[in-house]
Amino acid sequence: MATRRKQTRTVTGRVEIRMVNPKRTGTITVRDYSDKNTGALREFKDSHGNPRVKRYTKATTILDLSNEDDRLEYLHTKDHPIFVLGAHPCLKVIDVVQQAEDDVESMDLGVDALIVARELRSEKMVNFARVLGIGTHNVLESIIKKRVYEYAQNKPKEFMAAWDNPNRMFSEILHKGKTVGVFNANNGVWKYRETLMGVNIDEAILWLKNNEDLLPNIRKELTSAK
């Protein structure tokens, strides 16, 4: 399944600048500041280039990004080294449109993950469950299925990343081999019989890919060890 790519949208929409604790916060005054990363002076100016100061007194201030002054206020305030990016921020800048797009993307991922989970059956499901870290030894298939569904619901991003991983087949072989004793994996070190495959699963996958001539025998061992 192809990974979605975010589309770059034009700078329009609405931004909300919210006080983190409005009941305990008085007036917050935003003016020029030194950039947190570079130390350079960030001047606060309006659309005509005039110096500007903004005082936030309400719990939520709404900015319209199609308005140039509001857009400049958003770009300046969102990087404030104390009020927004400090250790104890008192303002939170919410790009409402971007948040909606992120939420939709997350929900789409959730739907994709559940569709994949629904289609998984029998050995294919068990093999993938192991990749997700779900225990399968002496566990009923219905219980495994439930846990796969739960993983898809609770961690759709991780679920889809594991499913779309081009090395998933090798990862499934390794996890199954570990379960049935074909591979030995202690403290992250993987071995096939007495042969060192790698000190982590990524190195073990690379070893399998570099020794694909051994895969037919390894698959036979996996089958016979059921």
Q: Which CATH superfamily is domain 167-226 in?
A: RecA protein, C-terminal domain (3.30.250.10)
**For the chain, what are the domain ranges?**
14-98, 120-164, 167-226
Q: What are 214's two structure tokens?
A: 């051994």
Distance CA 63, CA 93 (A): 10
pLDDT digits (tens, 9 = 90+) for 28-67: 999 999 998 899 999 999 999 999 999 999 999 999 999 9
**pLDDT bracket for residue 11 (50, 70, 90):** low
pLDDT at 10: 44
Distance CA 109, CA 97 (A): 18
**pLDDT bracket for residue 113 (50, 70, 90):** very high
Q: DSSP labels for 146-170?
A: HHHHHHHHH-HHHHHHHHH-TTHHH
pLDDT at 12: 67
Confirm whether pTM is higher than 0.75: no
